[in-house]
Chains A and B, each alone.
Chain A
Amino acid sequence: MSEQVKKFLYVNRKAPYGTIYAQESLEVVLIGAAFDQDVSMAFLDDGVFQLTKGQDTKGIGLKNFSATFRALGDYEVTKLYVEKESLDERGLTLDDLQNIEYEDEDDDYAEKPSIRLVSRAEMADVMAEQDVVLSF
């Protein structure tokens, strides 16, 4: 749609339920995918809970949208940066997160992990190299 390509980073800081931020963040990411920009997502603070596996929202009457994260590869959203310290502080490890993969079209469509574990310092570097940072 646009000739200009910018680096967009969507920063997710909140738990998936309790507030609407996570859900409305995903809506922006999915719409934004149509604009062919260089998209990354960051998950830090309680935002790391958004990626946990085995989410069950029946008891709270909210829509479980966690499966959407596994579809992000189809939208060419393949860089999900997860902050290690945020996981550690919450007693979580990568094993607690969903397996999210994308097909690398430059490598014979090999399935590769979308989640990239980074330290807090590395996350700062990721943010510093962006053109547009939208925080949720």
Chain B
Amino acid sequence: MKFGIVVSEGPYTHQASDSAYNFVKAALAKGHEVSRVFFYHDGVNVGTRLSIPPQDDRQIQEQWTALAKEHDLDLVICIAAAQRRGLLDQNEADRQGKDANNIAEGFRISGLGQLIEMGIQADRTITFGD
């Protein structure tokens, strides 16, 4: 089965990104395919590398980055949602005249078309939200 995943709530405030992470890990372990994980609404905040959670807590962004590296996952952050919330890669920072980027390794910023395309290509699209 080919899964497409939507994460639509931010890290720590909501459990959505944790549940999505656990689902993706379990699906991959069972031999399924995860074609893309699309971060929307406050979910885009999962992709900042500047978060500093307490050391005895789970490191949500690092978990995703490691999982992406291990399984060559496509982690896509919605550009429109990201711009509102201050999530930038270097390309966007340059384009918008901002002095820094904050995107974490393993994530990329792209358009909403990637969400629709994921829905078309995946056998199942699952939203983790509120």
Using Cβ atoms and an 8 Å threshold, which residues of chain B touch A6? 119-120
Choose one: B6, B111, B125, B129; the contact of A31 (CB below 8 Å): B111
The docked-state distance in angstroms from the alpha carbon of A14 to that of B125 is: 21
Which of A21-29, A54-62, A108-116 binds B?
A21-29
Q: What's the tally of chain A residues with a CB closer than 8 Å to chain B?
A: 20
A134 and B113 contacting across the interface, CB-CB below 8 Å: no
Chain B contact-residue range equals 10 to 19
A-B contact count (CB 8 A): 48
A8 to chain B, nearest CB (A): 6
Interface string of B94-116 (1 = CB under 8 A from A): 00000000000000000111011
Min CB distance B109 to A, Å, is 15
Binding site for B on A (CB under 8 A): 2, 4, 6, 8, 20-21, 24, 27-28, 31-32, 34-35, 37, 131-136
Q: List 24 A-B contacts (CB under 8 A).
A: A2-B120, A6-B120, A8-B119, A20-B41, A24-B40, A24-B41, A24-B80, A28-B116, A31-B112, A31-B116, A32-B112, A32-B115, A35-B113, A35-B116, A132-B119, A132-B120, A132-B125, A133-B125, A134-B6, A134-B115, A134-B125, A134-B127, A135-B127, A135-B129
